[in-house]
């Protein structure tokens, strides 16, 4: 459960800063207050509250599993001056030590391999220690995995 109290100067704070979710999918139920924004076409867009509907965000793990065919979603939560905002999120994540790799049919001559094999445990560790406020988490993570493998510190 996320709880965002009102703020007298909402332009000076964020409920949650810009990020992509490292998960496979995020299923979000937001209240009527709203406050979720997604970044597209070089600007922030508010996600309207639709009664009874869920917001589903594609995360970095799903992006890697589809070899970049589906993109993770840069988003943030903003606060307002008058009303408490609440949301409830469910995160779909793979097993910690399961090796993750895209399906063979998603990698071919026209669509080369974009990300190395990895485990959810490795991605989780990386995102907890290397916060990024942009869409480049998987690129940075891929470089980190390659460095760890070359130093024999990580086995996917």
Pair of tokens at residue 119? 């485990």
Judge whether 132 lies within some domain: yes
Q: How many domains does the chain have?
A: 1
| Residue 53 reports pLDDT greater than 90 | yes
Choose the weakest-confidence range: 29-33, 44-48, 81-85.
Answer: 81-85
Pair of tokens at residue 126? 């990386």
Judge whether 102 lies within some domain: yes
CA-nearest of 121, 91, 115 to 102 is: 115
Residue 153 DSSP one-character state:
-
With vertex at residue 86, the alpha carbon angle to CA 83 and CA 88, rounded to the nearest 5 degrees, is: 170
Judge whether 118 lies within some domain: yes
State the distance between the two ends of the chain, measured CA to CA, in whole angstroms.
Answer: 32
Judge whether 156 lies within some domain: no
| Residue 155 reports pLDDT greater than 60 | no
Judge whether 155 lies within some domain: no
Q: How far is CA 56 from the centre of its chain?
A: 11
| Residue 48 reports pLDDT greater than 60 | yes
Per-residue pLDDT tens over the stretch 90-132 = 999 999 999 999 999 999 999 999 999 999 999 999 999 987 8
CATH number of the domain to which 110 belongs: 2.60.120.330
The active-site residue, picked from 85, 98, 113, 132, is 85
| Count of all residues that appear for the chain in the document | 156
**Taking the model in full, what pTM does it have?**
0.85
- How many Å apart are CA 153 and CA 146, to the nearest integer? 10
Judge whether 65 lies within some domain: yes
Judge whether 106 lies within some domain: yes
Helices 120-129 and 137-150, interaxial angle, to 10°?
110
Judge whether 77 lies within some domain: yes
Judge whether 85 counts as a catalytic residue: yes
Range of the domain at 118: 2-150
């Amino acid at each position: 459960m996320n709880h965002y109290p009102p703020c007298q100067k909402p332009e000076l704070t964020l409920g949650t800063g810009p990020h992509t979710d490292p998960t496979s999918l995020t299923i979000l139920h937001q209240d009527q207050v709203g406050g979720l924004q997604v970044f597209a076409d070089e600007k922030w867009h508010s996600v309207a509250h639709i009664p009874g509907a869920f917001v589903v965000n594609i995360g970095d793990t799903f992006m890697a599993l589809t070899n970049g065919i589906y993109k993770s979603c840069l988003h943030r939560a903003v606060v307002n001056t008058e009303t408490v905002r609440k949301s409830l999120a469910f995160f779909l994540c793979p097993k910690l030590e399961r090796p993750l790799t895209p399906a063979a049919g998603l990698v071919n001559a026209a669509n080369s391999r974009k990300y190395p094999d990895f485990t959810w445990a490795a991605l989780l560790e990386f995102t907890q220690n290397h916060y990024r406020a942009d869409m480049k988490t998987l690129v940075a993570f891929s470089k980190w995995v390659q460095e760890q493998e070359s130093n024999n510190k990580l086995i996917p």
